[in-house]
Amino acid sequence: MKICIVGAGAIGGILAARLAHSGHDVSAVARGAHLAAIRDHGLTLRAGETEFTVEIAASDDPADLGPQEFVIVTLKAPALPGIAPALTPLLGPGTCFVTAMNGVPWWFCQALAGPLTGRSLPSIDPDGALSETLKPDQLLGCVVHAGASVPEPGIIHHAAGDLFIVGDAGRKTTAPATQLAEAITNAGLTGRETDDIHGEIWLKLIGNMGMGPICALTGATLAGLARDSDARPIAAAMMQEAMDVGEALGLSINMSAEARIDLGAELGEFKPSILQDLELGRPLEIDAMVTVVAEMGEIANIATPTIDTVLALLRGRARLAGLY
């Protein structure tokens, strides 16, 4: 298959390296020193005892890469609106566009029933630009349960987890979703198809939204937050408010807030991406992970006082650092 990875950093790099290594025609949209290293030396993946390098086409201009069968976007959410118009040369007849990003994607409401049906949420698509610009023939979501980093340009360190859950944005089983999940599995990862990608996105969001912001504010790891008698109840309250919002909007979670914290803590002394971004001076994924839940709460007429308070503190911290 002809596959382009947009944002071949940590998670995108895992996919690019594994899929190329298994024989697919893979290209990547990257930039800066990372792009230069991929062009000059290839893309190297390190995972436990495994290490290999693949040669892939890479550019900072998607027009150089041409139409694809699959375009998999692994960017940070704040970066997508700025690059979206440049991605259209990657889209041809039958192209499947895959969002493998944290938070709620712009297409999330399209297949939902109830109060969210057909809505465009300002927190994730303020002027409707994403909905207007990105109109592929097929839309898929991908929920990633893996940890990775880029220790140096052109090098991907795959630290933990290998599950990539793929599903059609229409909440149904489709051939492209099956095809991509199988390709991911055959590449040495774990690909799984679902007919409810919205539920998978929401379940991951509950953990990211409830733990990540508090880790960013305190500097705690996920396991550290779970152990902290002051921070843990705040995380649990945020999660419960989000679960109440989801219940009102048809996004039920069969897991308690306490169990969701314990699940997140299984990653150990791991810094969530929003804390890593703060420490590295990168824009924070506040709106797609936290603001959107508060917005949904307003639509559902569900109060979210803890989320609102932590959101205000997180925005303040990010503004102080020049990252929001």
Q: Give the separation between CA 317 and CA 140, rounded to whole angstroms.
A: 33
Residue 265, CA atoms < 13 Å, CB-side half-sphere: 16
Q: Contact 164/181 with Cβ under 8 angstroms?
A: yes
C-beta pairs of 19-22 under 8 Å, 24+ apart in sequence: 19/183, 19/184, 19/187, 20/54, 20/55, 20/56, 21/45, 21/52, 21/54, 21/187, 21/188, 22/183, 22/186, 22/187, 22/188
**Active site includes 2?**
no
Q: Give the separation between CA 238 and CA 14, rounded to whole angstroms.
A: 31
Q: For the residues of 112-154, what is the DSSP string, one character each? A: --GGGTT---TTTSTTSHHHHH---SEEEEEEEEEEEEEEETT
Angle 32-221-17 from CA coordinates, rounded to 5°: 40
Q: For the residues of 190-250, what is the DSSP string, one character each? A: EEEEES-HHHHHHHHHHHHHHHHHHHHHH---HHHHHH-TTHHHHHHHHHHHHHHHHHHTT
Element (H, E) at 286: helix 286-286
Q: Which of 2, 172, 204, 271 is catalytic?
A: 204
Catalytic residue numbers?
A: 204
